[in-house]
Amino acid sequence: MTQRVAAARAGIGERTARKYEQAAALPSQLKRPHDWKTRIDPFEEDWPWVVSQLERDPALQGSTLFALLCERHPDRYRPTQVRTLQRHIQHWRVLHGPDREVMFAQQHFPGERGQSDFTHMEDVGVTLAGVLFPHLVHHFVLTYSNVEAVSLCFSESFEALAEGIEKALWQIGGVPSQHRTDHLTAAVKNAGKEHTKDWTKRYEALMAHYGMQPTKNNVSIAHENGDVEQSHHQFKTAVDQALRVRASRDFPSREAYERFLQDLVRTRNLKRSVAFAQEREALQPLPTTALSPCQEVRVTVSQFSTIQIKANVYSVPSRLIGTSVLVRLRAETLEGYVGSTVAFTMARLIGKQQHRIDYRHVIWSLVRKPGAFAAYRYRDDLFPTTTFRLAYDRLVSSRIERADRDYVRILHLAASISESEVEIALTLLLEASTLPCFDAVRDLVHPPHSAEILALSTPHLDLSPSDELIPSRRSHA
């Protein structure tokens, strides 16, 4: 056929067909590398210096080197040329830079391994009744099926780790052969030099109870725990999207938020049901009972009616002063036992060097020693709400004598009767610009001239009409 027809059938122009026919070569054979420059390289003169700096320290960034070049030659470069230098450096690193770390795709087997870790949820912005709710999530993932389980916590303590693992295993309904976590030294160690190895025994005891082989990745090598690390990102993205669909990040209570998370996890796990069906057959059975892990610490209640646990101070009922108490430390609570009887239960503090003093534990002694209030070490804990603090500040600003004594008596009234009623009385007095002294608060809580209870007379009941309706014995006979 003619050259024109052949070019049309090949989808090219006639001139292009003529060029290839005359060259007697394929188009790919006519191509040659683009090794020429279309414009002058502004860094050609200083490029050897840039290379010497990169060879000395390959981590140097292009913006850093560009700033140094501008200092060496103030009038040679424009600020917009930094991107050109960055492209040159990237090209050099690809051809002559140091080798980079290689990641190795792992093959997972059903029932072989579970991974867990903590992730912070502050960036999600969840609130409870309008108050920001800072918390963490313990995230457990089976590496084969990617089935996951989550539980709320507030610190990376060993108790939070143990409770999170246990909840996840019972929720999944089986136990993998191995459990891997990152190097959670803060989560599994015990306070005190005499217990430096205690965390290892506790962690191994937990693993032994469930028949799992404990493993951990190397320090600062997060990608060795890659499945759960990637699941963190995907899970938090899913939470953010679900909150956007919900059109609100506020929940009425913690229980409502937990139900929201569990429903989200349940929906995500439905997509993994096929792989999980294979993995479930390979999982080991659960033990007969849950472990309910906790740490037991024996302490003696001080003369200040306080105990110290994990570098935190808690107040306890004053009747326990001088008593040796067994404290069971859990992820979120403290349980104090005298013998086998629970003497108190309270929320656990987060972090260290914290304190929580319940005014009900000390007010009965403080009302007899009101002068101790002014210099009390934990005085700020004796303001149950902001209203109590405002009332005390009002008493002090009014410069009345014995303001501390008046406030301590108000606090004693709250402990004796009702904190909410006393708070309402204080609110009314503050809104009315009335001095919230003890007498005024007491009169509002217990009015001196209360109305007498109306005495009800006993009504006279006439049952004779009912007797007439009852047939006599004679009629029955």
Residue 460: pLDDT over 90:
no
Residue 438: pLDDT over 50:
yes
Q: What is the pLDDT of residue 280?
A: 92
Instruction: Give how far the C-alpha of residue 390 lies from the chain's centroid of Cα atoms, to the nearest Å.
Output: 32
pLDDT in tens, 242-271: 999 999 999 999 999 999 999 999 999 999
Instruction: Give how far the C-alpha of residue 198 lies from the chain's centroid of Cα atoms, to the nearest Å.
Output: 25
Residue 223: pLDDT over 70:
no
Residue 468: pLDDT over 80:
no
Residue 100: pLDDT over 60:
yes
Residue 74: pLDDT over 80:
yes
pLDDT in tens, 35-63: 777 788 899 999 999 999 999 998 899 99
| pLDDT, average across residues 332-353 | 92
8 A C-beta contact, residue 294 and residue 333: no
* Type of residue found at 301: V
289: confidence class by pLDDT, cuts 50, 70, 90? confident
Superfamily of 113-282 according to CATH = Ribonuclease H-like superfamily/Ribonuclease H (3.30.420.10)
CB < 8 Å & 24+ apart, contacts of 234-242: 235/119, 235/137, 235/139, 235/148, 235/150, 235/265, 235/268, 236/119, 236/121, 236/123, 236/124, 238/264, 238/268, 239/121, 239/124, 239/264, 240/124
Q: What is the pLDDT of residue 149?
A: 94
Helix axes 273-282, 254-270, angle to 10 degrees: 90
Residue % of the chain over a pLDDT of 90: 57
| pLDDT, average across residues 363-390 | 92
Most confident of 82-96, 177-191, 442-456: 82-96
Task: Give dist(CA 373, CA 232) in Å, integer.
Answer: 48
pLDDT higher at 187 or 280:
280
pLDDT higher at 183 or 158:
158
Q: What is the pTM of this model?
A: 0.68
8 A C-beta contact, residue 305 and residue 315: yes
Paired strand residues for 325: 299
| pLDDT, average across residues 442-467 | 68
179: which 2 tokens?
Answer: 């459990």
Residue 386: pLDDT over 80:
yes
Q: What is the pLDDT of residue 457?
A: 64
Q: What is the pLDDT of residue 469?
A: 74
Nearest to 47 by CA among 91, 85, 93: 85
Task: Give dist(CA 109, CA 282) in Å, integer.
Answer: 9
Task: Map out the domains of the chain as residue ranges.
Answer: 1-35, 47-96, 113-282, 301-356, 374-445
Most confident of 228-232, 396-400, 469-473: 396-400
pLDDT higher at 8 or 454:
8
Which residues touch 75 (CB under 8 Å, ≥6 apart)?
none
| pLDDT, average across residues 439-459 | 70
